Amino acid sequence: LTRPPYAPLGADTLPDRLWHRPELTRLLGPPAQWRVREVGDGNLNLVFIVEGRDGSLVVKQALPYARVVGESWPMSLDRAFFEYEASLRLGARDPGRMPTLHLFDREQALQVMEHLTPHIILRKGLIAGTRYPALGEHLGHFLARTLFRGSDWAMETAHRKADLALFAGNVELCGITEDLFFTDPFFDCPRNRHNPALDAEVATVRADRALKLAALRLKARFCTGAETLLHGDFHTGSVMVSAQDSRVIDAEFATYGPMGFDIGSLLANLWMAAFSQEGLRPGDADARAYRRWIRDLAAQIWRVFTDEFARLWRTERAGILGGHDLFEAQSDREGAEQALAARLAAIWHDTLGFAGLEMYRRVLGLAHIAEFEAIGDEAARGACERRALRLGRALAVTPERFADVAAVNALAVELD
């Protein structure tokens, strides 16, 4: 019995390829009635929505190359395996926040998962100016639970080390982050592109040694600071939202790294979304208040994160970094609290740096963000992007200026 070799799915061929899988027929009903549409708007993979008599599902399949560039950029199919393995772990660490997984086929590099509906990508909701009352709590909890529970502060160390070894295999996607995030934006990399209105800023960056030193310092943190299993691509395009619900998708960049990486990626995207409002909705009476809502959301996510992280520290701390033998076992509760404060301060410091670099890569690197791209007028777009670069530089080069998230929001207001 030989299994068919890998072949990419198409909307027309999907029913013929998957009709015999009980995981699909059980939830969709008879294959003759399936309707398939391709919805992938991402950079890398194929995504299909399959609707049947009894329900709908999402099928995501990796391609042997990066979709955004084409076959000239080959890319390992194994990323589907790492996405699946990471999704299982992140989903278990904060139940209900990832789509339910129904099937994984390593050979075909495909997974079948819950169709999130009526959810939309958060980035689109932010462009439309929609408020999501539960979002800050959901994302703050998700960050605290996944980052804490995937670390040596929580896991049994042999188990944690085995996971570290497993995800070390995601070397190719991790390498994309290493290049695109930490190196490309800071030299004349052919993959880069930028708004011509920012030519002067680009020239400044090329000569900015302090910024490059910060980028290299943060790259070292990312490459060597294997604190926990990160989502690895945690921006507002990897969150789907409805009025009440928030979900996290697209964990293929998962890798062991520093806790502040996921937090910084997300917060940077919120600060950029706020900066984009004036360009996206000039003259809109709500744009000013909405900017404030986004900044408040960033502050809330950090606050919920720290509260939940502290709760987990006090109730679930274990593993080789638990430190109970040094503190609780000596009736020194205050020592454990000081260790917590030091851990949160270190995460905050990293968060600032990674947030700063995320802003650079989204303005000067390969992968830009829809909020800025949707501003048609180059000068207006440049004005918004320039604010992101200013804030980004301050966060990456002088993180000590920002004692807390309120200090970042204050500079964002000043620049806006």
The residues of the shown chain that bind ligand ADP, judged by CB under 6 A, are: 39-45, 47, 58, 60, 99, 113-116, 121, 249-250, 252
- How near is the Cβ of 43 to ligand ADP at its closest, in Å? 5
For ligand ADP, the closer CB: 346 or 367: 367
The binder of 322, among Mg ion, ligand ADP, none, by C-beta within 5 to 8 A per type, is: none
Select from Mg ion, ligand ADP, none the partner in contact with residue 87, using the beta carbon and a kind-dependent cut-off of 5 to 8 Å: none
Give min distance, CB of 76 to ligand ADP, in A.
Answer: 14
41 binds, among Mg ion, ligand ADP, none (CB under 5 to 8 A by kind): ligand ADP
Nearer to Mg ion, 152 or 252 (CB): 252
Question: CB-wise, 179 or 337, nearer to Mg ion?
Answer: 179
Q: Which does 116 bind (CB under 5 to 8 A by kind): ligand ADP, Mg ion, none?
A: ligand ADP
| Site for Mg ion, rule CB under 5 A | 42-44, 250, 252
38 bridge partner residues: 48
CB 190, min distance to ligand ADP, A: 23
Residues 6+ apart with CB under 8 A from 143: 234, 262, 263, 266, 301, 305
40 binds, among ligand ADP, Mg ion, none (CB under 5 to 8 A by kind): ligand ADP
Cα–chain-centroid distance for residue 121? 12
Q: Which is nearer to ligand ADP, 240 or 364 (CB)?
A: 240
Residue 38 beta carbon to ligand ADP: minimum distance, rounded to whole angstroms? 9
State which residue, 205 or 251, has the beta carbon closest to ligand ADP: 251
Q: What residue number has its CB nearest to Mg ion?
A: 42
Q: Give, in order, the Cα–Cα distances in Å from 92 to each of 20, 95, 187, 227, 310.
A: 29, 5, 40, 18, 20
**Closest to ligand ADP by CB, 113 or 396:** 113
CA nearest neighbour of 160 among 306, 321, 327:
321
Q: How far apart are CA 302 and CA 348, in angstroms?
A: 9
- Min CB(177)–ligand ADP separation in Å: 13
Integer Cα distance of 372 and 91 in angstroms = 31
Q: What angle do CA 206, 174, 202 make, to 5 degrees?
A: 15
- Residue 241 contact among Mg ion, ligand ADP, none, beta carbon within 5 to 8 Å by kind: none
Nearer Cβ to Mg ion, position 269 or 351? 269
At residue 97, what are phi and psi to the nearest 5 degrees? -95, -20
Lookup: tokens for 130: 């929609």
Closest separation in Å from C-beta 44 to ligand ADP:
4
129: number of CA atoms within 13 Å, CB side?
A: 14
Q: Nearest approach, Cβ of 57 to ligand ADP (angstroms)?
A: 8
| Sheet strands (E) in 89-151 | 101-105, 110-114, 120-121
Q: Give one word for 86, left, alpha or beta, with left for phi > 0 and alpha for psi -120 to 50.
A: alpha
Shorter beta-carbon distance to ligand ADP: residue 88 or 202: 88
147 binds, among ligand ADP, Mg ion, none (CB under 5 to 8 A by kind): none
Long-range contacts of 88-91 (CB under 8 A, 24+ apart): 89/146, 89/150, 89/163, 89/229, 90/142, 90/146, 90/150, 90/229, 90/231, 90/248, 90/251, 90/254
Is 308:137 a contact under the CB 8 Å cutoff? no
How far is it, in rounded angstroms, from Cα 355 to Cα 225? Answer: 16
Note whether 295 and 412 are within 8 A (CB): yes
Min separation Cβ 403 and Mg ion, Å? 32
* Chain residue at closest Cβ approach to ligand ADP: 42
